[in-house]
Structure 1
């Protein structure tokens, strides 16, 4: 019998496997596809990392995650975080209010006028004040998964089974029995970290529990070449007529330096198995207009477009809760990657330490009415 079985080897499940195994727990990680597949939400080479957040709850979690990212880098010998700093601007982003909240959370930041910000970053234009915070940058999700699983399996003895589909799970006094197309396994606890497959798989596992209200949407990002390869671009969040974000593309757009600009607003409703994966012309045009108006340091013709999946709750809070012997983990809503090592620790606490559930993350807080 394992101490824990984890369903899903994306960022959430891999973080859980790493956190549990380094505590000396025996772990089996089950993945229905190959590792680092492109069907979910954890593929690619760049996601935003930031600690400047308005919510004290999430700011504290980001601080813990930052320390744990460093520990993972040390354990794995792999560089995962690259600091660029971050900018927040746009009328609806309310940089002044955000500045006050971030200062209250004891995170270093600076509020700049549009002119001062443009002098520092001449490849931008700014319509409002700008919040700058240095403890931000990009994290490589595919490299992070490899690092977590390399340490979990190589140093701590965790097991990973890919291309293994979970058919059903049931709980009894002996533990949890997980039936897959490759056999049945038993554990003291079960972690469901299924990402966009959560609405499909959870009702088959927690048949009596309230089901959370989550929506799976397809979001669009487009990559634009930098006009000057030597410019050091920070990550950014803009909120005005739409909410957009940008960050260095990493290796996602080829070898030349590029910036990925995406739309955070809710996209079209899909499921992982029923989606076309094609960015919309509406989003291409909206983002291209934004680049032309506010990002003069980019060539205004996109070189690539991608579609990715968000799994979002009604208020964008995470789901991290335990029902019986089963932990449900959906730390998503388009903001989860930065928190992942801390999420793994929270999952391990729920699974093995009987830790209390954070009220905002409780399953009942997101239950369908």
Structure 2
């Protein structure tokens, strides 16, 4: 064997899996088709929502487990990766009252605010109904998180190879063969953490029973400058007719304070290799109109905009399971970033013979 495990993809999932595997004493080769930190996939940028508010108790529980591993990653790397701002959830379909009940049942601090109280506390934001506030929410830096995972993996003995796209994976009687353009690596296991390239790479692996259908959509994000540059806003999730989210932009929005606001739903079907990066004018109009109505503290003309990729499943659950010596890891559907260190741990458990979380197991 050339190594114990090959990890394909050095985004949030692959980098987290690599450091978890390496610190457990396994020999790891981490393959990245491009360069570490590239902007073509779903793991780049300085601003992703970090929150614990979910309408699903399973994910609330997982956010607690992830929080402990975020602490470990920050301690090991010596880098602050998360910024707590508090978070808001509102809109009739977001059901703030029901969320409050779930949060209390799981011991997560939260409170329900009236529209007036929320607007008074968060000047520049307006609301039409009850608002859930939970102080543990904030945002995380995806770029720094990827770099932290890669650096810890390398310091623990992992071999990191950039510009090395995988062209095929075979499962002989013992272990796997991972083919790239210029080499074949024999390993005990392979972790496929290819993000939006997963649907394109799957045919090279062969038939995987019960693997759910996955597809890729191109989404748009928009950055709006604060009218008051001293304003400090929480993150937010809104669901009523449309699904929107917002959070501080970080460096993604430029040199002056801004908020990133985007639709979670919608999007245009595409592929990781075939995306056009053209911003959908209908999405821009939807988001800017919403900002103009409900966020008067922002200038409603975007100062920056970009496209991003979602890898979707029909039930919006992740896919983290194994068949033979191949582990597939796709914490997808637009809400996986906050779980990155936990996903790395779940992947390492599978490599070491553990069982998949039933919610994330292969399924039709």
TM-score interval, smaller chain: over 0.9
Residue aligning to 1:16: 17
Residue aligning to 2:154: 153
Question: 1:208 offset after TM fit, Å?
Answer: 5.1
Residue aligning to 1:287: 287
Matches of 1:337 and 1:43, distance apart in 2: 10
List per-residue Cα deviations over 1:327-369 (Å, max 9, x = no partner): 11110110000000001000000011x11112111112xx3xx
Equivalent residues of 1:87, 1:132 under 8 A apart: yes
Matches for 1:1-369 after TM superposition, within 5 Å: 1=1, 2-154=3-155, 156-207=156-207, 209-352=209-352, 354-364=353-363, 367=364
Matches of 2:12 and 2:354, distance apart in 1: 22
Matches of 2:23 and 2:47, distance apart in 1: 26
Change (3 A) 1:185 1:111: same
List per-residue Cα deviations over 1:251-271 (Å, max 9, x = no partner): 012110000000000311000
Question: 1:74 offset after TM fit, Å?
Answer: 1.1
Question: Normalising by structure 2, what TM-score?
Answer: 0.98
Question: 1:72 offset after TM fit, Å?
Answer: 1.0
Equivalent residues of 1:30, 1:164 under 8 A apart: yes
Structure 2 unaligned blocks of 5 or more: none
Matches of 1:288 and 1:208, distance apart in 2: 42
Question: Normalising by structure 1, what TM-score?
Answer: 0.96
Equivalent residues of 2:9, 2:31 under 8 A apart: yes
SS, match of residue 253 in structure 2? coil
Matches of 2:52 and 2:23, distance apart in 1: 25
Matches of 2:122 and 2:253, distance apart in 1: 23
- What's the RMSD between the two structures over aligned residues? 1.1
SS, match of residue 98 in structure 1? helix
Number of residues paired by the alignment?
A: 363
Matches of 2:90 and 2:230, distance apart in 1: 23
Equivalent residues of 2:320, 2:360 under 8 A apart: yes
Matches of 1:53 and 1:12, distance apart in 2: 21
Matches of 2:134 and 2:23, distance apart in 1: 32
Structure 1 unaligned blocks of 5 or more: none
Question: 1:17 offset after TM fit, Å?
Answer: 0.3
Matches of 1:359 and 1:79, distance apart in 2: 32
Equivalent residues of 1:178, 1:184 under 8 A apart: yes
Equivalent residues of 2:254, 2:304 under 8 A apart: no
SS, match of residue 34 in structure 2? coil
SS, match of residue 62 in structure 2? helix
Matches of 1:278 and 1:227, distance apart in 2: 28
